């Protein structure tokens, strides 16, 4: 899963990114060799996996990760190439979701590109840039699709009509997510890489010790069906340099309930309606994976490896708790709680999966 961090210049994106990077780097058992400088790979910790790993005698624990992409500040006109606009906008086209960092802190030592702190104006500038970038992209695509539609291609005809509706919506400033693609061209939105179709998590970058989202940001997020979380980017960057105990003590002193990073990771995660499943065996790595809610054992196999999906024969499935209670696979088999499922089995959150496949 990939998440792009966007926001105004100086909004606090890189501070947040640095905190996330260190959180990732701390999980030392990760075999990452080269990571691009602007990509933070952050493990999604899950205690259920720890319990499963212990139960089956796994060799180690490997959490699934989220990639956060730090993107330089967007300024008005970015879609026309102001600043380094186009390049950064292209970067976020590839992501699954967007974290929008909004300056809400009032530290006078930090320069605001527009002179004064005004979260709603800032949000609007960024949202306008994203909408304009989508509009240009949609218009370019439209010219191509029109030609295909003239040739009588049914998908292209449906896409052309959709693009016209989309373009009209974008021209009125409405995000692409409000114009869902037609059944005949279900991938049109994804193919277009619409920035404003991606789910958004607002991060209110608040003053140190502040633990709430300013009401105007909360209201804006709510009106979009989005979520907003309060984080002090600078504080998180500082805390990430301390060890866990010191960081917890400092949080307690400041009256901050939860790690801001957990809020961001958890919040980004919740955007995509994913469920977790696990694979684990004796002397093998225990791993967590994620899958869109409602997908099947066959899709889950594909997350693990395309070869495993191709050769799918059947799956052995058990809820993580049942496996822990039974003391392992042998116990689970004895109790009859290890189920055999076919490829159409709909995965449940917390399932432990073993795919039987022909290589």
Ligand X SMILES: Nc1ncnc2c1ncn2[C@@H]1O[C@H](COP(=O)(O)OP(=O)(O)OP(=O)(O)O)[C@@H](O)[C@H]1O
> Which residues contact ligand X (rule: CB under 6 A)?
7, 9-15, 72-73, 105, 107, 110, 205, 207, 232-234
CB of 246: closest distance to ligand X in angstroms? 19
CB of 240: closest distance to ligand X in angstroms? 13
The residue with tokens 């993580």 is 320
270 is in an annotated binding site: no
Comparison of 14 and 309: residue with beta carbon closer to ligand X: 14
Q: Which of 40, 39, 58 is nearest to 48 (CA)?
A: 58
CB of 336: closest distance to ligand X in angstroms? 55
Q: Which does 287 bind (CB under 5 to 8 A by kind): ligand X, Mg ion, none?
A: none
List interacting residues with Mg ion (CB under 5 A).
13-14
356 is in an annotated binding site: no
Asked if residue 170 lies in contact with residue 135, where contact means CB atoms within 8 angstroms, the answer is yes
266 is in an annotated binding site: no
User: CB atoms < 10 A from the CB of 88, how many?
Assistant: 20
Question: Helix (H) and strand (E) counts for the chain?
Answer: 14, 12
10 is in an annotated binding site: yes
Angle at 127 between CA 126 and CA 129, to 5 degrees: 65
11 is in an annotated binding site: yes
CB of 318: closest distance to ligand X in angstroms? 44
179, two tokens: 């114009």
CB of 2: closest distance to ligand X in angstroms? 18
Rounded to whole angstroms, the maximal C-alpha distance in the chain is: 69
Q: Is 355 helix (H, G, I), strand (E, B) or coil?
A: strand
Comparison of 105 and 263: residue with beta carbon closer to ligand X: 105
Comparison of 6 and 149: residue with beta carbon closer to ligand X: 6
Q: Which does 7 bind (CB under 5 to 8 A by kind): ligand X, Mg ion, none?
A: ligand X
H runs (alpha helix) in 188-296: 188-192, 215-223, 233-239, 244-254, 260-271
CB of 78: closest distance to ligand X in angstroms? 11
Comparison of 234 and 290: residue with beta carbon closer to ligand X: 234
Q: Which of 269, 265, 96 is nearest to 194 (CA)?
A: 96
Q: Which does 234 bind (CB under 5 to 8 A by kind): ligand X, Mg ion, none?
A: ligand X
Comparison of 13 and 220: residue with beta carbon closer to Mg ion: 13
Q: Which does 91 bind (CB under 5 to 8 A by kind): Mg ion, ligand X, none?
A: none
13 is in an annotated binding site: yes
- Radius of gyration over every alpha carbon of the chain, rounded to an integer in angstroms: 23
Concatenated DSSP letters of 180-206: PPPTTSTTHHHHHT-GGGS-EEEEEEP
**Residue numbers belonging to the annotated binding site for ATP:** 10-15
């Amino acid at each position: 899963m990939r998440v792009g961090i966007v926001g105004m210049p100086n909004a606090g994106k890189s501070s947040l990114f640095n905190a996330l990077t260190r959180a990732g780097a701390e999980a030392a058992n990760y075999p990452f060799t080269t990571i691009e400088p602007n990509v933070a790979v952050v493990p999604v910790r899950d205690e259920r996996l720890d319990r499963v790993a212990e139960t089956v005698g796994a060799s180690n624990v490997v959490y699934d990760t989220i990639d956060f992409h730090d993107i330089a500040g967007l300024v008005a006109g970015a879609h026309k190439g102001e600043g380094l606009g186009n390049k950064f906008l292209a970067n976020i086209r590839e992501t699954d979701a967007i974290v929008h960092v909004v300056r809400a802190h009032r530290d006078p030592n930090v320069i605001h590109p527009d002179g004064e702190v005004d979260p709603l104006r800032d949000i609007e500038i960024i949202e306008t840039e994203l909408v304009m970038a989508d509009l240009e992209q949609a218009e370019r695509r439209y010219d191509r699709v029109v030609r295909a539609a003239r040739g009588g291609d049914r998908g292209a005809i449906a896409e052309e009509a959709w693009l016209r509706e989309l373009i009209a919506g974008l021209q009125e400033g409405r995000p692409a997510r409000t114009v869902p693609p037609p059944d005949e061209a279900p991938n049109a939105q994804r193919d277009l890489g619409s920035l404003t179709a991606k789910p958004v998590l607002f991060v209110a970058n608040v003053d140190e010790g502040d633990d709430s989202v300013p009401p105007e940001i909360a209201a804006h997020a709510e009106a979009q069906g989005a979520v907003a979380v309060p984080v002090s980017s600078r504080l998180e960057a500082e805390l990430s340099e301390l060890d866990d105990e010191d960081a917890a003590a400092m949080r307690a002193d400041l009256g901050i309930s939860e790690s801001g990073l957990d809020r961001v990771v958890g919040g980004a995660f919740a955007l995509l309606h994913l469920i977790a499943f696990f694979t684990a065996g004796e002397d093998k790595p225990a791993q967590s994976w994620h899958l869109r809610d409602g997908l099947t054992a066959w899709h889950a196999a594909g997350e693990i490896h395309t070869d495993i999906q191709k050769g799918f024969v059947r799956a052995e499935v058990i809820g993580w708790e049942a496996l822990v209670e039974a003391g392992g696979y042998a116990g689970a088999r004895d109790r009859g709680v290890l189920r055999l499922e076919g490829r159409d089995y709909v995965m449940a959150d917390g399932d432990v999966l073993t795919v039987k496949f022909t290589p």
